[in-house]
Structure 1
Amino acid sequence: MRAKKWFAMTMSMVLSLSLFVTACSGGGGNEGTDSGKSEERLANLNQAGMPIAKEKITMTGFAAKLYASADWSKLMLWEEYEKITNVHIDWETVQIDSLKEKRNIKLAGGDYPEIFFASAFAKSDLIKYGSQGTFLKLNDLIDQNAPNFKAMMEKYPIVKKGITMPDGSIYGLPTVFDPEFISLFYGTPWMKQEWLDKLNLKPPTNLEELYNVLKAIKEGDPNGNGKNDEIPWGSKGVWIMINYLKGSFGLNKNGVANPNVDLDPDTGKLRFVPATKQYKELLEYVAKLYRDGMFDKETFTMKDTDISSKATAGVYGFLDGVDPKAIYNQEGYVGMPILEGPYGDKMATNIGSPLGNIGMFVLTDKAKNPEAAIRWMDHFYSDEGAKMFFMGFEGVTYKMTDKGEYEYLDSIAKNPDGLNLDQAVSQYLVWPGGYYPGIVKQHFFKGAEGLPSSVKNAEDAAPNSIKLDDIWPAFNFTPEEQDELTTIQTDIHTFVDEMRDKFASGALGFDQWDSYVQQLDKMNVKRYLEIYQAAYDRYTSSK
């Protein structure tokens, strides 16, 4: 559930106009094939309820998965769902690491399936292949055949606005993080309460107090071993720390789905965050922390294995991410309060959109039964479908507790063969790895974000967190805007990231800040902002 970088793909193909008709209007459209609209085909479909098809139908599907050993043709989830729906999927799967390459080859060669599932298409791909007609427009299919997803769009306008392209077309279905599952969004870094108590420290409430608490941990030997081996703050990357602290400097008050832009309070127009005075001051603060040894010196090059080794050894006073108990087996951490900054800002803004990747489910122009396919997917946006997708099957993978909660059986949670949770779950289900369309609901999701400690952290942070109604999704662009943006943003983003690390580590002095900003101007950051402003204007004016 983390942000991913996007890359454009190239392909060329010839569309068979004798078989496929692609809609060109903005809001609705003529999805599917001429032959697919035949009375015979539609007569085989039930308009509501299960099964979807009266006589079994077969579709081809391509998907990413976490573990190579999971054979989806024999996976319980798909076997049982086929019994429910009367829809069989001939699956071709690839591991997540090779997804992009295999997906590109299929599209470039024309050997692609009816359904792309868990394939994580970037918006640039949706725009490109949707405008070419390779990906079907889903507007009418959703309206007529996806009652669960349609109701979700009505309940949460950010979902509809976030998946709709500038011409009004919808080409993909997303991962949705239930806005009511607040611990997926709100939260702060974690503090080791035992160390604070031993050093007679109160939780910090502002940036100066944070510095002093970190300094006391560094110098006060809170683990009592007589060695100076404690590390005040552990993080997988300095950018994560910076995102946590942005709200204390009044930055990104509409969340971090568009991390480099926010609204300038003076003009009401978008500004480029990494060129603002507040961002400079934030980097100066982080540089001071680093210079004085307040966070891990390896933060700029940290790998997952590095931080796992140190965190499980219990050397960190503060840690980013989810409760350290869940991933590092470290007890006793509590959420850090939201910190007040130099101008009185006290807001958690490190909050992503409830809308995840919007290209997780795509129908291609080869889909022979698009209505059945969209109904097949729509079930996973319902409570019953989400329960099956994440928890599996009662008596096989989960049980009901006396309190009416869903709980994995010991064969999953405490696997006798030594499998971890993801490995055990993957014998039956497909969600491990984080690649899937559907909705993540607290009642059915048993990851670290659903722990009572995570829920409490979120509840404590909520009063000073930006509200979900104020959060922007990642903006959508026209094909022309996307082409132009792709040309300039890669260099800009790379430059910003490199300079962020140099400033924060002290490798570059802040006397070079003006030169940095001037270089951004030369890289056409003005045009970058104009494109984002156009997308923002469309977003705010859409219904």
Structure 2
Amino acid sequence: MGKHSKEIPAKKWLTLLLASAMVVGIAGCSGNNKENNTAATTTDAFNKEGLPIVNEPVTLKVLTVRWGSMGDTFTQNQWLKDLEKNSNVKIEWQVMSSNDWAEQKSILLASGTLPDVVIGDQTFTDSDIVNNLTYFRPMDDYIDQYMPNLKAAMEETPEMKKISTFPDGKIYSLPTRLPSRPKSSRQPVINKTWLDKLGLKVPDTIDDLYNVLKAFKEQDPNGNGKQDEIPYIEVSNDIISPFGITDLNNNNMLVKDDKAVYYPISDEFKAGLKWENKLYSEGLLDKELFTQDATMVSAKFQNPDAPIVGFSYQWTPDAVFGKWSDQYVTIPPIAGPDGKRYTIGNPIGMNLARNELLITSSCKTPEIAARWADQFYTNEGSIQNFWGAIGTVIKKNDDNTYTLMDPPTGTSADAWYWDQSLRDFGPKYVSPSFEKSIVLNPSSGDGLKLQLDKLGNEYVTTPFPNVMYTSEEFQELPTLTTDIDSYVNTMRAQFITKGAIDEGWDAYVKKLNEMGLEQLVKIRTDAYGRYMSVK
């Protein structure tokens, strides 16, 4: 109970009882699971190579969490059904909704009895795993002995191993490398109709951009006779990316000359603040910058009477601007004061994640689970678990290329892929060389993003990686980041709206140091050092 709780309402008791019942349902293999115990104790039932994995059927309980009300239609993916038949490993899927997973997760971790396998990084976070390490099996020996596909992937793409190695040097969760992902994150998007109407060129430098935004503000490019244009609508890391601030993971860290750098006290950040203050003071940034929510921003993007937003950073324009989408184009990154261009993203692709599969200590047949998981790390297995099965969603062509079929009428491609596959969740590896065989539609969805990616991917900087923290570091981090991040954000808003950046800078840095910045940077730097030392 929480420290303020005195009694539990009847409705809460019912929720707890239901959740407890759920835990019993998703518990792992135990002594009365005949199939699993047989496989664990009968050596000739298990095959170290080839298929089937076991000569007699074995059942694994596999838990995964899906967004909202997505359900379990992905379990009918033909590749998964064929794997079950060919491997003799039957899967009892336990599919949970993200809507109520937080409470169910707490009860499950408190119980200590987990299913055999956990899939998807939405299920358990780094801290869930690090703080409950005894619940999960170290995977290093299993990878070495039973997972040749994953082992080869880690050799070809060493970041797969780096991202999966925990502070004690062991691997507890398996990684993914999604296919056909771009290198860049959001990119600059501008209203080309407005540019053409005003006789302006696509801005190339930060000075060009300033002049274009000023023209957008003053010359009524939407032609409705009102000065309702909003040249630039949001404050994010993107707006200061021309200054070399390319923070992909929103943790205020950069890598510069192979060193971890906390940038909110850097000269580049200070210069970016001055640029933002200039835009704000001249009415080129939305005056509701710090008071609007995502719904209000979306309403401005899709303003019904006329387009009113001039410039933004987006994944693809078509997903944001509604009926005005045709007026917007993605452009190359804007050159900063140093003449260089910087794009937020990752040079090896926006496609790496960990915690995509864990084998729990409750599982009595980890070698079987490991061999089953390794089947997901083939090229064909991965694309079928990202988009959908060959023959259902993917067409395999005579020249050994792969084309995505059109979704059913009335269904978006993305919704269809989530319906037919594990999509972003679960273990995958598509070799960079195999990606050349995947043919995507360049005018929509994943294919469009790859086309737009060509505009800026050569300028993508190496981000501060998704490092791993120890249990002790996880205890310290929230206290430090809550106060420090909040203060940085508050002062950024103040500097943008009120200026006085030079005058207030020393006091701002002094206050951050008083709040424990040195310790925060030490934790981040130590974690970065561990990440980089993995061979």
TM-score, length of structure 2 as denominator length:
0.80
Cα displacement (A) at 1:524: 0.9
Residues matched between the structures, number: 488
Cα displacement (A) at 1:422: 4.6
Name the aligned partner's letter for residue 343 of structure 1: D
Equivalent runs, 1:259-408 vs 2, <5 Å: 259-263=251-255, 270-313=260-303, 314-329=307-322, 330-351=325-346, 354=350, 356-399=352-395, 404-408=401-405
CA separation in 2, counterparts of 1:378 and 1:444?
25
C-alpha change, 1:365 and 1:272, in structure 2 (3 Å) is same
Q: Deviations over 1:287-314 (max 9, x none)?
A: 2223323233444355443333333344
Q: Given that residues 158 and 473 in structure 1 are in contact (C-alpha distance below 8 angstroms), is that contact kept between their aligned partners in structure 2?
A: no
Q: Which residue of 2 aligns with 1:219?
A: 218
Equivalent runs, 1:457-468 vs 2, <5 Å: 457-466=452-461
Across the aligned residues of Structure 1 and Structure 2, the Cα RMSD in angstroms comes to 3.4
Match of residue 89, structure 1, among 86, 91, 96:
91
Q: Deviations over 1:174-215 (max 9, x none)?
A: 23245xx46243662212222222211112222221111112
**Structure 1: 5+ residue stretches without partners:** 1-18, 21-33
Q: Deviations over 1:11-61 (max 9, x none)?
A: xxxxxxxx99xxxxxxxxxxxxx9799451x43233334333322211112
Per mean C-alpha deviation after superposition, the further-off stretch among 532-541 and 399-408 is: 399-408
Name the aligned partner's letter for residue 461 of structure 1: G
Equivalent runs, 1:14-413 vs 2, <5 Å: 38-40=40-42, 42-68=43-69, 70-71=71-72, 75-76=76-77, 78-120=80-122, 121-130=124-133, 133-177=134-178, 181=180, 183-185=182-184, 188-235=187-234, 238-242=235-239, 245-246=240-241, 248-252=242-246, 256-257=248-249, 259-263=251-255, 270-313=260-303, 314-329=307-322, 330-351=325-346, 354=350, 356-399=352-395, 404-411=401-408
CA separation in 2, counterparts of 1:362 and 1:350?
27
Q: Given that residues 326 and 448 in structure 1 are in contact (C-alpha distance below 8 angstroms), is that contact kept between their aligned partners in structure 2?
A: no
Cα displacement (A) at 1:359: 1.6
CA separation in 2, counterparts of 1:288 and 1:307?
22
Q: Deviations over 1:83-120 (max 9, x none)?
A: 34322222222222333332222011224211111243
Q: Which residue of 1 aligns with 2:22?
A: none
Q: Deviations over 1:491-524 (max 9, x none)?
A: 2223323333333344986643332222211111
CA separation in 2, counterparts of 1:447 and 1:95?
33
Q: Given that residues 121 and 355 in structure 2 are in contact (C-alpha distance below 8 angstroms), is that contact kept between their aligned partners in structure 1?
A: yes
C-alpha change, 1:346 and 1:257, in structure 2 (3 Å) is same
Cα displacement (A) at 1:316: 2.3
Per mean C-alpha deviation after superposition, the further-off stretch among 501-510 and 116-125 is: 501-510
Q: Given that residues 394 and 405 in structure 2 are in contact (C-alpha distance below 8 angstroms), is that contact kept between their aligned partners in structure 1?
A: yes
Q: Given that residues 334 and 457 in structure 1 are in contact (C-alpha distance below 8 angstroms), is that contact kept between their aligned partners in structure 2?
A: no
Percent of residue pairs identical:
32
CA separation in 1, counterparts of 2:383 and 2:469?
34
CA separation in 2, counterparts of 1:69 and 1:465?
34
**Structure 2: 5+ residue stretches without partners:** 1-29
Q: Which residue of 2 aligns with 1:504?
A: 496
TM-score, length of structure 1 as denominator length:
0.79
C-alpha change, 1:101 and 1:337, in structure 2 (3 Å) is same
Q: Which residue of 2 aligns with 1:23?
A: none
CA separation in 1, counterparts of 2:376 and 2:290?
39
Q: Which residue of 2 aligns with 1:25?
A: none
C-alpha change, 1:259 and 1:444, in structure 2 (3 Å) is farther
Q: Which residue of 1 aligns with 2:524?
A: 532
Q: Deviations over 1:437-480 (max 9, x none)?
A: 434786388899855543333222133333xxx45522223333
Name the aligned partner's letter for residue 315 of structure 2: V
Cα displacement (A) at 1:125: 2.6
CA separation in 1, counterparts of 2:91 and 2:282?
58
Per mean C-alpha deviation after superposition, the further-off stretch among 67-76 and 523-532 is: 67-76
CA separation in 2, counterparts of 1:258 and 1:309?
25
Q: Which residue of 2 aligns with 1:26?
A: none
Cα displacement (A) at 1:342: 2.5
